[in-house]
Structure 1
Amino acid sequence: MELAARTTSFVVFFILSFAQRAPTSEAATLNVGVILNLQSLVGKMARTSILMAMEDFYAVHRNYTTKLVLHIRDSSADSVQAASEAVDLLKNYNVRAIIGPQKSSEATFVANLGNKSQVPVISFTATSPTLTSGSMPYFLRATPSDTAQVNCIAALIKGYGWREVVPIYEDTDYGRGIIPYLVDSLQEFGASVPYRSVISVSASSDQVEQELYKLMTMQTRVYVVHMLSSIASTLFMKANELGMMSEMYAWVLTDGIANIIDSLNPSILDSMNGALGVKFYVPKSKELDDFTPRWTKRFKQDYPNDPSAQLGIFGLWGYDTIWALAQAAEKVNMVDDMFQKQQDKKPSTCFGTLGISTVGPKLIDAILHNTFRGLSGDFDLKKRQLQPSTFQIINIVGRSSQQIGFWTAKHGIIRTLDQNGSKTTNANSMPELNPVIWPGKVYVVPKGWQLPTNGNKLRVGVTSSGYPEFMKAERDPITNATIATGYAIDVFEEVLKGLPYAIPYEYVAFDFEGASYNDFVYQVHLGVYDVAIGDITIRYNRTSYVDFTLPYTESGVAMIVQVKDDTNKNTWVFLKPLTTDLWLGSIAFFIYTGIVIWLLERRINNAELTGSFFRQLGIAIYFSFFADRERIDSILSRLVVIVWVFVLLVITSSYTANLSSILTVQQLQPTVTDVHELIREGEYVGYHNGSYVGNLLEVLGFDRTKIRAYKTSEFCYALSKGGKNGGVAAVIHEVPYIKLFLAKHCKGYTMVGPIYKSEGFGFAFPKRSPMINDFSRRILSITEGDVIIQIENKWIGDQHVCQTDGAIASPSSLNFRSFSGLFLVTGVASTSALFIALMMFLYKNKHKIRDSISRVQTRGGYGSAHANRQNQEREVDSNQAQSMHVTVPNDLEDDTCQQEIEVSIEITSPVLDSHRGQALHSVAQ
């Protein structure tokens, strides 16, 4: 009985223990709410992926003690319905996490509920940048923000050279959220947004068509479409009907459409032919290849009425989100999990009755620190949202999409990736991308703009210039149409002929009396004209409200001055051909060459070099001038003379030519050559009345009282009177006008300068006009060819006829540096000749020089005791030496012998010094 009692007690204890542990087993589940729009394609796709993720995860992790329990709800694309479902899940099902909702507007409501109850809200479809984690700490985004793709789109726009873009977006939080970031990125890449097309989610087909008609009246033909697939389908169907999917248009789709492009209805894809798309890049993997066919089979079972649906990135993010939440739940201790009631809160509404999850902070922390490699790639929510680095660029062709390239934050637009998708294998510019089939099935890149199709012509503003040759505008008395002629008109019409497309236009006159060119150009900014043409100077202050093409005329500001006849030559004009340093250098080399010739000829006893030293030196210098007329015996002297004669020939020829130019060619000189000279001397200067040059003269430093305004017809009168007689010393004007003035007043005037840089004349367009590039390229081709010369000859005249056109250049004096090479050659030749002569002399007399040195050394080595005997020997040697002089034959004329005799005389005793002259005289005879 005792044993039976003990056994019964043990059984009861076991049952009670199991009963106490039963709640613990129940606490090992984590309720998760899922809010999706189950009527949408993305919602259906996500539901299938989430259910498969639950099955796959717990099939792999059978030992996990915490299991997710999903409670799926349908938001029906209604923000209020989504919030109501979230409240129900929090109050009645005590969910510890919420996945979704699908739309950004719905996520805003639900995220606020999550903050109140400290329940993590994870959305893998809400991409609006307005959803920030700063104000919603319990909101996580298992998808990148829409801002991640704006640089990719802007790089595409820049790569294809489009200057203007019109975004078309839906009027929701999702649609509006990306626009500020997109506009900023486009402007950074050099494009602008002239118009924003907003379409309501409730817009009818007719309302969408009306908006498209409005876009057709504008010149921009590049559109960035950012909306959900339901509205985009209606948009492209209507655009195709209106002919907006033709070769003149370019369409770029954001990721909202591009990510599910393969799941759209084939008829909708047909209407999107030629569009480009930007989608998130999913790296290839074996796991993804195995999962894709399983998902396709499962989706067809769940939704047999959607056979065309394909697995997209949203389905992969939904799959990875379940895995991330399940792994985080296993790391969190669920034993003490409960909802605490909010203190000091009166339950006036259903929101006030929500409790606070005690496990929420731990759960969200575990999610943030959990990273793994999922089906979509690296799944990392450390920054509270995914951070993709690669986008795929696609081209919709037929009923499918083709890959044309990639974009990465590091390398920009590239053609291909390596196997890991991390490094480029062919990074290049836009033309290196795979070929794109644009709307209309063409391969030519759309230019991105077109004249409006509302029948209006290009309004070209014209006005009568002070110089009719440049532009003259008048009205036809019969038709009342504006007729414009002139240099600028011919250039403009020549540009239109060379454009690859036709532009209908009409001239509109600007004839407000007293208005300036600034007022004329400002009409373009006001929209009165589409372009303003004429003699409009490209100035910095005007670029603040218009854009200019490249200039079609010469640039700069110059002076018109009189020319004077410089026939009054002074007495020393013959010295002008050579500079002072060249004169001094020539004289120095004359003297040096003469001395060299004298030394070389004196060595061989030239008969011409007789008499006193100064007479011989004079003759030697005379050799320098007339070496070809004097007898020269030494071969070294002749070599020196040959080089020197060549130098003289070059110098004299150059001198003669330059002197002739000074005396004959240089007859006219400008009266003023430097604008700073006018400022220093306080001279009066003139300018064309109404020109901006008047203000420029003050900037240059002219006194306002010294500046006078004239009409073009008064220039000659003012210049002829001069500044001291009520006129001006110079007229400051723009170069194109000066060329026109000189064509009419060729004699007596010339142009000096330019003295100031300006950009010339150009055409004024509205800011960021897409026509500027085409016009500028065409202007460049005209100014580089003969067309501009023909137009100038037609309206200005042949500039080559007027010899005074341009500043007159005075002949410059020749300087020493110009002939430094010649002087170097003759100097080297003369010095080398002297050195060779010295070497020859030393070689021929080396034995006698050696003997003489030996005798001198021997004479210094004896003592005073032998002094008498040495004197006697020297006397004998002297007598012998004297006798040697006497016995030399009379016909001895060898140069060597004469040198030997002289050496022997030098070593004789002083006794023979008195007879040395007689001995030499005898030898000479």
Structure 2
Amino acid sequence: METWAETALVAKIGNQAQVPVISLAAAIEATKTTQWPFLIQITNFSNQMDCTAALVHSFKWRRVIVVYEEDMLSDDSNMLAMLSDALHNVGSVIEHHLFIQPYQSLSHPLEFVREELMKLNNIQPRAFIVLQSSLQFTSLLFSEARKMRFMGKDSAWVITDTIASFLDYVNSSFISSMEGAFGIKIDYSENTTSFLDFKKQFRQSFRFEYPEEDNSNPGIYALRAYDSIATVIVALERLTHSTSSTTSTRLLDTILSSNFSGLSGEIHFEDEGLSYKPIYRVINVFNLTYSKLEYWSPEFGFLKSLDAAKSGKNGSIGKRNDWRRSLGNLKRVPKGWAMPSLEDPLIIGVLGRATFDAYDGFCIRVFKEVLKILGYGLPYKFVEFNGTYGDLVKNVANKVINLSPTTLLCISEKLIYNSICW
């Protein structure tokens, strides 16, 4: 079970029958586990939102747009609230929510996605976080976003682990539509004997059953499913050697007392969920595949190697944005913001009746000097504004005017608009 719609239904049945139910869906609030005492979560997403926020922070994207599908992000999940809190902790905010109805409920999904994307033309942030969505919607979203030029040089897309895991088994057409997107994936060891043995058997079985598929490598879902079965088998073996009678409650307790190294990570439970906090890997979709970049751990942030992510011994600590230099396939770091163009320049308000003309001239000269060191073109247009300084600042805050050089002197009552001063 990968969605909470599926999990809630099966968990209810398992509760009634008093049979343990193991879920692969994203973690829910701890209070919900009392509703389903026989539900066991073999995933841990406790720090996924922190990793996503750290990625946003490393690129200095202050305002983001979050995309999520209702069927995947149900009321039983607090992932959206967790993401909002994590972004707030790094100085970023969610500017807009792109709320999508369940894909299966849409009579015309293509038209719906186009209409929702069209609404974003009047919103300046171009940093998107796709929090949760089905495979069908993800494919449609990125395909249409590329056609509508929402994946240009200044746009940035970040996909969470749930969606990034699709990349392990989707076709090249799907990956092509996501070209340039960043993501985070739970990291797991691919060099152990147990993984290599499983990979060999998995590929043989997969190719036999699906000969038309290009990618036969096991992804994180296959590993979690294998670990789920292994957890039950180990628990049953322990019970067979016990002198006490086997009951549903004893089976549940035995599963929750598991402690072994699985293919997807350490299998040890606390509060009906995995206690193991995974290490994530930053990825960049490029050339019909994805490149694996830095590691990220909740204790040490971005680091260059897996050993460093576990121990924190790495020279990049304190310089956690340095990893962006390794993005050789990018000509420029996406700004995550709709930049002004010749057709839609930056509107700069200048007081038309300023008392001190020399002062206004000085501010304008400072503005032009700043443009010289930006490293990129910034089309702009000076517009005369007849009013008070306060009125000018309010117009910037209300987005009637983009900015004004004279807002350098925001003081006294104007401080309430300090978010737009520069």
**TM-score, normalization by structure 2:** 0.86
C-alpha spacing 1:430/1:490, structure 2 compared with 1 (3 Å): closer
Give distance in 2, aligned partners of 1:193 and 1:452: 21
Pair 528,546 (structure 1): closer, same or farther in 2 beyond 3 Å:
farther
Query: Given residue 243 of structure 1, which amino acid in structure 2 is its aligned partner?
Result: R
Deviations 1:137-181 (A, max 9, x none): 221101113x42111111111112222221122122437742211
Aligned to 2:153: 247
* Equivalent in the alignment of 1:154: 53
Q: Answer whether contact 1:405 1:414 (CA < 8 A) is retained.
A: yes
Residue in structure 1 matching 2:253, options 357, 362, 365: 365
**Could you tell me whether the CA contact under 8 Å between 1:164 and 1:194 is conserved in 2?**
yes
| Deviations 1:75-102 (CA, angstroms, capped at 9, x unpaired) | xxxxxxxxxxxxxxxxxxxxxxxxxx33
Aligned mates of 2:323, 2:167 — CA distance in 1: 25
Contact 2:62–2:91 (CA<8 Å) still a contact in 1?
A: yes
Question: What SS does structure 1 have at the residue aligned with 2:96?
Answer: coil
The 8 Å contact of residues 217 and 452 in structure 1, kept in 2 or not, is answered as no
1:329-362 deviation per Cα after TM superposition (whole angstroms, max 9, x unaligned) = 234479998xxxxxxxxxxxxxxxxxxxx92221
Residue in structure 2 matching 1:275, options 171, 174, 181: 181
Q: Where do residues 665-814 of structure 1 align in structure 2 (5 Å cutoff)?
A: 764=421
- Alpha-carbon distance, 1:542 to partner: 3.2
Residue of structure 2 aligned with 1:385, choices 253, 269, 273: 273
1:105 paired with 2:5, answer: yes
On the 8 A contact 1:219/1:452 being kept in 2, the answer is no
Give, in whole Å, the separation in 1 of the partners of 2:288 and 2:323.
25
Structure 2 counterparts to residues 563-712 of structure 1, below 5 A: none
One of 463, 470, 480 as aligned partner of 2:351: 463
Tell me, which stretches of 5 or more residues in structure 1 are unaligned?
1-100, 338-357, 472-484, 549-763, 765-771, 773-925
Q: Does 1:238 align with 2:238?
A: no
**Length, aligned pairs only:** 407
User: How many angstroms does 1:373 deviate by?
Assistant: 1.4
**Which position in structure 2 is the counterpart of 1:431?**
322
1:397 is matched with which residue: 277, 286, 293? Answer: 286
Inter-CA distance 326–252: structure 2 relative to 1 (3 Å threshold)? same
Distance across 2 between alignment mates of 1:328 and 1:151: 33
Distance 1:415 1:170 in 2: 33
Q: 1:271 Cα shift? A: 1.9
Aligned partner of 1:412 among 282, 301, 305: 301
| CA deviation map 1:43-70 (0-9, x unaligned) | xxxxxxxxxxxxxxxxxxxxxxxxxxxx
Structure 1 residues 197 and 540: alpha-carbon distance in aligned structure 2, compared to 1, 3 A threshold: farther
1:495 shift after superposition: 3.8
* 1:427 Cα offset (Å): 4.5
Contact 2:347–2:380 (8 Å) recurs in 1: no
What is the CA–CA distance in structure 2 between the aligned matches of 1:265 and 1:335, rounded to whole Å?
A: 51
Deviation at 1:315, TM superposition (A): 0.8
C-alpha contact (below 8 Å) 2:154/2:337 kept by paired residues: yes
Shift of 1:105: 1.6
SS in 1 for 2:195: helix
Q: Could you list the per-position Cα deviations for residues 391-439 of structure 1 after superposition, in whole angstroms to 9, with x for gaps in the alignment?
A: 11112221222211100111111111229x62245341222467225xx
SS in 1 for 2:394: helix
Kept in 2: contact 1:415–1:433 (CA 8 A): no
Deviation (angstroms), 1:118: 2.5
* Equivalent position of 1:115 in the other structure: 15
In structure 2, relative to structure 1, the CA distance for the partners of 1:180 and 1:505 (3 Å cut) is farther
Tell me what 1:518 maps to. 390
Deviations 1:191-247 (A, max 9, x none): 122111122333522322333333343221211112232211111112222333332
Residue 130 of structure 1, CA deviation: 4.8
1:367, distance to aligned residue in structure 2 (A) = 0.8
SS in 2 for 1:251: strand
Cross-structure match for 1:505: 381
Cα deviation per residue 1:862-914 (whole Å; 9 max; x = unaligned)? xxxxxxxxxxxxxxxxxxxxxxxxxxxxxxxxxxxxxxxxxxxxxxxxxxxxx
- In structure 2, what is the equivalent of residue 218 of structure 1? 123
Q: In the alignment, which of 547, 552, 561 is matched to residue 419 of structure 2? A: 547
Match of 1:259, SS state, is helix
Note if contact 1:417-1:425 (Cα within 8 Å) is conserved in structure 2: no
Answering whether residue 96 of structure 2 is matched by residue 195 of structure 1, we say yes
Alpha-carbon distance change, 527 to 217 in structure 1, aligned in 2, over 3 angstroms: closer
Contact kept? 1:277, 1:393, Cα under 8 Å: yes
Q: Deviations for 1:283-312, whole angstroms, at most 9, x for unmatched residues?
A: 231110111021011122233343424311
Please name the residue that 1:306 is paired with. Answer: 213
| 3-state SS of 1:193 partner | strand
> Aligned AA for 1:266?
S
Given residue 201 of structure 1, which amino acid in structure 2 is its aligned partner? P
Q: Summarize deviations over 1:570-599 as a string: whole Å, max 9, x none.
A: xxxxxxxxxxxxxxxxxxxxxxxxxxxxxx
In the TM superposition, residue 281 of structure 1 has moved relative to its aligned partner by: 0.8
**Aligned counterpart, 1:488:** 363
Q: How far apart, CA to CA, are the structure 2 residues paired with 1:424 and 1:536?
A: 42
CA 1:533–1:373: 2 relative to 1, 3 Å: same
The 1:399–1:286 alpha-carbon spacing in structure 2 relative to 1, beyond 3 Å, is same
Q: Quick one: structure 1 residues 494 and 425, their matched pair in 2 at CA, closer, same or farther if it must change by over 3 Å?
A: closer
Alpha-carbon separation, structure 1, partners of 2:266 and 2:408: 59
Partner of 2:202: 295
Q: Which stretch shows the higher mean deviation, 198-207 or 445-454? A: 445-454
Distance 1:251 1:501, change over 3 A: same
Larger radius of gyration: 1
1:140 aligns with 2:15: no
C-alpha separation in 2, matches of 1:547 and 1:214: 24
Question: Per the alignment, in what secondary structure is the counterpart of residue 451 of structure 1?
Answer: coil
Instruction: Tell me if the contact between 2:161 and 2:184 (Cα under 8 Å) persists in the aligned partners.
Output: yes
User: C-alpha distance in 1, partners of 2:390/2:327?
Assistant: 44
Deviates more, 1:307-316 or 1:532-541: 532-541
* 2:340–2:379 Cα contact (<8 Å) kept: no
CA distance in 2, matches of 1:212, 1:297: 42
Aligned to 1:43: none
Distance 1:233 1:213 in 2: 18
Native 8 Å contact 1:263 1:308 kept in 2: yes
| Partner-residue secondary structure (3-state), 2:406 | coil
Give the direction of change, closer, same or farther, for the CA distance of 1:493–1:262 in structure 2 (3 Å limit).
same
The code of the aligned residue for 2:272 comes to R
Task: Give the letter for the 1:159 counterpart.
Answer: S
Tell whether 2:71 aligns with 1:180.
no
- The alpha-carbon distance between structure 1 residues 436 and 394, as it changes in their structure 2 partners (threshold 3 A), is same
Which amino acid counterpart does residue 182 of structure 1 have in structure 2?
L
Please say if residues 385 and 392 of structure 2, whose CA atoms lie closer than 8 Å, have aligned partners that are also in contact. no
Mapping for residues 79-90 of structure 1, pairs under 5 Å = none
Q: Is the aligned partner of 1:319 residue 2:226? A: yes
**Local SS of the residue matching 1:395:** strand
CA distance in 1, matches of 2:343, 2:34: 52
Aligned counterparts of 2:323 and 2:344: Cα–Cα separation in 1: 38
Q: Which of structures 1 and 2 has the larger relative contact order (alpha carbons within 8 angstroms, sep 6+)?
A: 2
**CA distance in 2 between partners of 1:109 and 1:130 (Å):** 17
TM-score by length of 1: 0.41
Inter-partner Cα distance in structure 2 for 1:306 and 1:501: 46
For structure 2, the residue ranges without an aligned partner over 5 or more in a row are none
Aligned partner of residue 270 in structure 1, secondary structure? helix
